[in-house]
Amino acid sequence: MKHKIRQLLKQSLDQLVEGGDLELAMLPAQIPVEHPRRAGQGDYASGIALGLARVSGQKPRDLAGKIQAALPAAPFVESTEIAGPGFINFFVAEQALIEVVSEVLDERDKYGTKVIENPHKVLLEYVSANPTGPLHVGHGRGAAFGDTLARLLRSAGHQVDTEYYVNDIGRQMDILGVSVCMRYLELEGQTAIVPQGVYQGMYVRDIAARFKRRHGREIELGEVPRFEVDGGTLDEVVDSLIRQVRDWLGEAQFEMIRSFALADMVEVIRADLEAIGVVHDSWFFESQVTKSGELEEAINDLEKNGFLYRSGGARWFQSSEFGDEKDRVLTRSNGELTYFASDIAYHLNKLRRGHDYVINIWGADHHGYIARMKAAMQAAGENAERLRIYLVQFAALYRGKQKIPMSTRAGEFVSLAELVDEIGQDATRFFYVLRKPDQHLDFDLELAKSVSNENPVYYVQYAHARICSVFRQMSERGIVRSTGRNLPGRAEQVELNLIRRISKFPEVIESAAQALEPHQIAYYLRDLSTDFHSFYNRVRILDGEPPLRDFRLNLIEAVQQVLANGLEILGVSAPETM
RNA sequence: GCCCCGGUAGCUCAGUUGGAUAGAGCAGCCGCCUCCUAAGCGGCAGGUCAGACGUUCGAGUCGUCUUCGGGGCGCCA
Spatial distance from the CA of A364 to the C1' of B49 (Å):
26
pTM of the model: 0.94
Query: Contacts by A183-188 with C-beta closer than 8 Å and gap 24+?
Result: A183/A207, A183/A208, A183/A209, A184/A208, A184/A211, A184/A212, A184/A219, A184/A257, A185/A221, A185/A224, A187/A212, A188/A212, A188/A221
pLDDT on residue A389: 92
pLDDT on residue A564: 97
What is the rounded average pLDDT of the residues A393-421?
Answer: 74
Spatial distance from the CA of A519 to the C1' of B7 (Å):
20
Nucleotide minimizing C1' to CA distance for residue A84: B20
Spatial distance from the CA of A24 to the C1' of B15 (Å):
32
Nucleotide minimizing C1' to CA distance for residue A34: B16
pLDDT on residue A405: 67
Strands A328-331 and A314-317: antiparallel
pLDDT on residue A315: 94
Task: Provide CB contacts within 8 A for A541, sequence distance 6+.
Answer: A470, A549, A552, A553, A556
Contact in structure between A445 and A556 (CB atoms under 8 Å)? no
Spatial distance from the CA of A539 to the C1' of B9 (Å):
32
Strand order across the A328-331 sheet: A308-311, A314-317, A328-331
The yes-or-no verdict on residue A414 having pLDDT over 90 is no
Spatial distance from the CA of A449 to the C1' of B28 (Å):
22
Neighbours of A220 (CB within 10 A): 8
Spatial distance from the CA of A180 to the C1' of B14 (Å):
46
The yes-or-no verdict on residue A118 having pLDDT over 70 is yes
Q: In this predicted structure, which of A106-120, A189-203, A406-420 has the lowest mean pLDDT? A: A406-420
Q: How does DSSP classify residue A228?
A: P
Spatial distance from the CA of A430 to the C1' of B9 (Å):
24
Spatial distance from the CA of A261 to the C1' of B3 (Å):
37
Residue at minimum CA to C1' distance from nucleotide B32? A537
CA distances, A23 to each of A18, A28, A56, A156, A284 (Å):
8, 11, 8, 34, 53
- Residue whose C-alpha is closest to residue A416's, from A128, A142, A124, A180: A142
CA distances, A72 to each of A4, A8, A9, A11, A28 (Å):
11, 6, 8, 7, 20
Nucleotide minimizing C1' to CA distance for residue A46: B19
In chain A, what percentage of residues exceed pLDDT 70? Answer: 97
Query: Contacts by A56-63 with C-beta closer than 8 Å and gap 24+?
Result: A56/A21, A56/A22, A56/A23, A56/A26, A58/A21, A59/A86, A60/A85, A60/A86, A61/A85, A61/A86, A63/A21
The yes-or-no verdict on residue A429 having pLDDT over 90 is yes
Nucleotide minimizing C1' to CA distance for residue A52: B57
Spatial distance from the CA of A129 to the C1' of B50 (Å):
36
The yes-or-no verdict on residue A184 having pLDDT over 70 is yes
Spatial distance from the CA of A532 to the C1' of B48 (Å):
37
Spatial distance from the CA of A480 to the C1' of B34 (Å):
26
Nucleotide minimizing C1' to CA distance for residue A44: B16
Nucleotide minimizing C1' to CA distance for residue A576: B37
Spatial distance from the CA of A64 to the C1' of B46 (Å):
39
The yes-or-no verdict on residue A385 having pLDDT over 70 is yes
Nucleotide minimizing C1' to CA distance for residue A519: B14
Which CATH fold topology does A2-92 show? Gyrase A; domain 2 (3.30.1360)
Q: How does DSSP classify residue A227?
A: P
Spatial distance from the CA of A85 to the C1' of B58 (Å):
9
pLDDT on residue A408: 63
Q: Could you tell me the residue ranges of all domains in chain A? A: 2-92, 171-274, 452-570
Contact in structure between A163 and A284 (CB atoms under 8 Å)? yes
Q: In this predicted structure, which of A142-151, A228-237, A408-417, A479-488 has the lowest mean pLDDT? A: A408-417
pLDDT on residue A29: 77
ipTM of the complex: 0.95
Q: In this predicted structure, which of A56-60, A276-280, A324-328 has the lowest mean pLDDT? A: A56-60
Q: Length of chain A in residues, anyone?
A: 578
Residue at minimum CA to C1' distance from nucleotide B56? A54
Categorize the per-residue pLDDT at A27 as very low, low, confident or very high, splitting at 50, 70 and 90.
confident
What is the rounded average pLDDT of the residues A340-358?
Answer: 95
Nucleotide minimizing C1' to CA distance for residue A434: B13
The burial of A496, by beta-carbon neighbours within 10 Å (0-12 exposed, 13-18 middle, 19 or more buried), is given as middle
The yes-or-no verdict on residue A435 having pLDDT over 80 is yes
Nucleotide minimizing C1' to CA distance for residue A343: B77
Strand order across the A44-46 sheet: A44-46, A87-92, A77-83
Residue at minimum CA to C1' distance from nucleotide B36? A470
Whole-angstrom Cα distance, residue A349 to residue A352? 5
Q: How does DSSP classify residue A189?
A: T
CA distances, A381 to each of A71, A318, A330, A376, A490 (Å):
49, 14, 18, 9, 63
Categorize the per-residue pLDDT at A546 as very low, low, confident or very high, splitting at 50, 70 and 90.
confident
Beta bridge partners of A357: A122
In the predicted model, what is the mean pLDDT of chain A?
90
What is the rounded average pLDDT of the residues A59-72?
Answer: 90
What is the rounded average pLDDT of the residues A196-215?
Answer: 93
Categorize the per-residue pLDDT at A401 as very low, low, confident or very high, splitting at 50, 70 and 90.
low
Residue at minimum CA to C1' distance from nucleotide B37? A466
Which CATH fold topology does A452-570 show? Isoleucyl-tRNA Synthetase; Domain 1 (1.10.730)
pLDDT on residue A230: 78
Nucleotide minimizing C1' to CA distance for residue A494: B41
Residue at minimum CA to C1' distance from nucleotide B22? A37
Give the model confidence (pLDDT) of A220-275 as tens digits: 888 888 888 877 788 888 999 999 999 999 999 999 999 999 999 999 999 999 99
CA distances, A404 to each of A342, A401, A425, A449 (Å):
33, 9, 22, 16
The yes-or-no verdict on residue A25 having pLDDT over 80 is no
Give the model confidence (pLDDT) of A284-342 as tens digits: 999 999 999 999 999 999 999 999 999 989 999 999 988 888 899 999 998 889 999 99
Q: In this predicted structure, which of A153-162, A203-212, A545-554 has the lowest mean pLDDT? A: A545-554
Nucleotides of B under 7 A from a protein CB: 2-6, 12-27, 35-42, 56-58, 69-77
Neighbours of A473 (CB within 10 A): 12
Residue at minimum CA to C1' distance from nucleotide B5? A438
